[in-house]
């Protein structure tokens, strides 16, 4: 199951990633074509292999544009490695390979692309390939070990340093986005989920074998009177007490929510009998949570039978919330501090 936080903090969408990849491959192909047209660039005997690489990269560019959005991370990584190979081949195939070492800078776009768009550990694989490739190319050029170390170390430090900087910033950004996403789904006063978090949590239960969904709406009785007598600061204490009480009194797979004001909700995959027991237990426990202020709650609820877990949609949850709210008002009109619970045969009714 993919949570909302994971969705918010995920890498760029596949279509945009495919377009970026296509542009990079086309740019590399264009530069390779320019190099091939210059008779002083490609070494004798290397032209056929170099042209084959150009043709292969052109095919990859077209495939990326057409099907790249459906490619897996590993396939995209393979294409990035092909780009690296094309750059390294342009150096080895150059008549003046020392000057061609400047082409190592062309490894920067695919390296940064991997750092931005691919999940761990693939960016590190890209860095490893760059290190090995640069070292191999430098070995064909360097006159001694010291020169080899210099020719290898300088571009590797620059490329890996740039990639690691991007990865560090990406981790920081992912953490910030995760925090914002969490805040957007949580009520800051009580620590309970809000409506958005409720839907994300409940709709993530696809594949469950439970046949029933119970929605309980709870409202603090005479909350305005509590505010008037004790002040809004104490009113906040009351709300926090109820919120923490709901967290303690519900199971880990139940969903406790603050809907707003003094209204709360509990959603559980319970049978009608279980839902009634839960509602009564919450009503009685609430008197303990709010004992210093002599507070009570009223509960309205509805239980629906699900034919399968796919029926548990946002629309159904919202409808059940509205219906449970109507039963809550029945509990209020009947004298408060009580439970009114209804049951439906199926979700399609």
Q: What is the dihedral of CA 48, 21, 166, 132, to 10 degrees?
A: -20
Residue 27 is inside which H or E element, if any?
A: helix 14-37
Catalytic residue among 15, 127, 262, 274: 262
Q: Is 260 left (phi over 0), alpha (psi -120 to 50) or beta?
A: left
> Nearest Cα to 125, choosing from 169, 70, 80?
80
Which residue(s) pair with 305 in the sheet? 212
Residues 6+ positions from 133 with CB-CB distance below 8 Å: 84, 85, 88, 107
Residues 6+ positions from 83 with CB-CB distance below 8 Å: 24, 25, 28, 57, 109, 110
Is position 262 annotated as part of the catalytic site? yes
> Nearest Cα to 321, choosing from 255, 246, 250?
255
> Nearest Cα to 342, choosing from 246, 251, 216?
216
Which residue(s) pair with 303 in the sheet? 214, 343
Question: Residue 57 in contact with residue 32, Cβ under 8 Å?
Answer: yes
Which residue(s) pair with 215 in the sheet? 267, 302
Q: Catalytic residues, which ones? A: 262
């Amino acid at each position: 199951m993919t949570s909302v936080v994971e969705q918010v903090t995920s890498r760029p969408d596949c279509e945009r990633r495919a377009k970026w990849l296509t542009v990079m491959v086309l740019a590399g192909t264009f530069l390779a074509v320019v190099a091939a047209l210059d008779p002083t660039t490609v070494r004798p005997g290397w032209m056929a292999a170099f042209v084959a690489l150009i043709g292969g990269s052109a095919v990859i560019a077209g495939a990326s544009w057409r099907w790249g959005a459906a490619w897996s991370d590993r396939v995209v990584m393979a294409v990035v490695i092909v780009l690296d190979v094309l750059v390294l081949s342009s150096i080895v195939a150059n008549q003046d390979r020392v000057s061609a070492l400047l082409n190592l800078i062309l490894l920067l776009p695919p390296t940064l692309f991997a750092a931005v768009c691919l999940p761990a550990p693939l960016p590190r694989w890209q860095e490893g390939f760059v290190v090995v490739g640069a070292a191999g190319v430098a070995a064909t050029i360097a006159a001694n070990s010291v020169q080899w170390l210099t020719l290898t170390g300088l571009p590797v430090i620059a490329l890996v340093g740039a990639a690691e900087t991007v990865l560090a910033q990406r981790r920081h950004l992912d953490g910030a986005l995760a925090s914002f996403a969490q805040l957007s789904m949580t009520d800051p006063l009580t620590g309970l989920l809000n409506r958005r978090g409720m839907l994300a949590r409940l709709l993530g239960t696809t594949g469950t074998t439970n046949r029933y969904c119970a929605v309980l709406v709870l409202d603090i009785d005479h909350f305005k009177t509590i505010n008037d007598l004790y002040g809004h600061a104490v009113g906040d204490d009351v709300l926090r007490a109820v919120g923490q009480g709901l967290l303690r009194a519900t199971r880990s797979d139940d969903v406790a929510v603050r809907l707003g004001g003094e209204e709360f909700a509990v959603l559980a995959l319970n049978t009608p009998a279980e839902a009634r027991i839960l509602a009564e237990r919450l009503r009685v426990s609430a008197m303990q949570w709010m004992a210093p202020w002599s507070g009570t709650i009223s509960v309205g609820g509805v239980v629906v039978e699900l034919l399968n877990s796919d029926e548990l949609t946002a629309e159904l949850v919202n409808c059940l919330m509205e219906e449970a709210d109507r039963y809550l008002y029945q509990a209020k009109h009947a004298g408060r501090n009580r439970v009114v619970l209804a049951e439906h045969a199926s979700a399609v009714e």
